[in-house]
Amino acid sequence: MKQPVQFRSASAAAQQAKAQQPAVSFASDIRPLFQQFQGPMMWRFDLTSYEAVRANATLIWDQIASKSMPPPPFQPLSDEQIATFKAWMASGFPP
C-alpha cells in the first residue's frame, strides 16, 4: 500500500514543480519566434538576446502587433505567436 502513496507524492511534486514554472519563457517560447530570422535579416538589436528583447519589448510588440515585423518577404507572425509574446510581457518577462 505504500507504493501508491509514493506515486502520488511524486506526481504531486511534479505538478507543483510544473505550476511554479512560467507558462511562457524567453528561452523556450520567445527566442524561437525570432531565431528563424537571425541569419537572413539584420535587426537594430539581437532578437535572440534576452536582455535586448526585454529592453525593447514595447517597440517589438508594436511592430509585431501591427504585422509590420518581420518585413516582407517574410510572413508576419501568427496571431498565436503574437499572443505568446504578449503573454511573456504580461508575465513579467521570464527568462
Spell out the per-residue pLDDT of the chain, length 95, in tens: 555 545 455 555 545 545 555 689 999 999 999 888 776 666 677 888 999 999 999 999 999 999 988 888 888 999 999 999 999 999 999 99
Pull the grid cell for residue 19.
505550476
pLDDT at 45: 76
Kindly report whether the global pTM for this prediction surpasses the value 0.75: no
Query: What's the chain's Rg over C-alpha atoms?
Result: 18
What is d(CA 2, CA 68) in angstroms, rounded to the nearest whole number? 59
Summarize pLDDT for 75-95 with one digit per residue, the tens.
899 999 999 999 999 999 999
Q: How far is CA 13 from CA 18, 72, 87, in A?
A: 9, 47, 26
What is d(CA 6, CA 3) in angstroms, rounded to the nearest whole number? 5
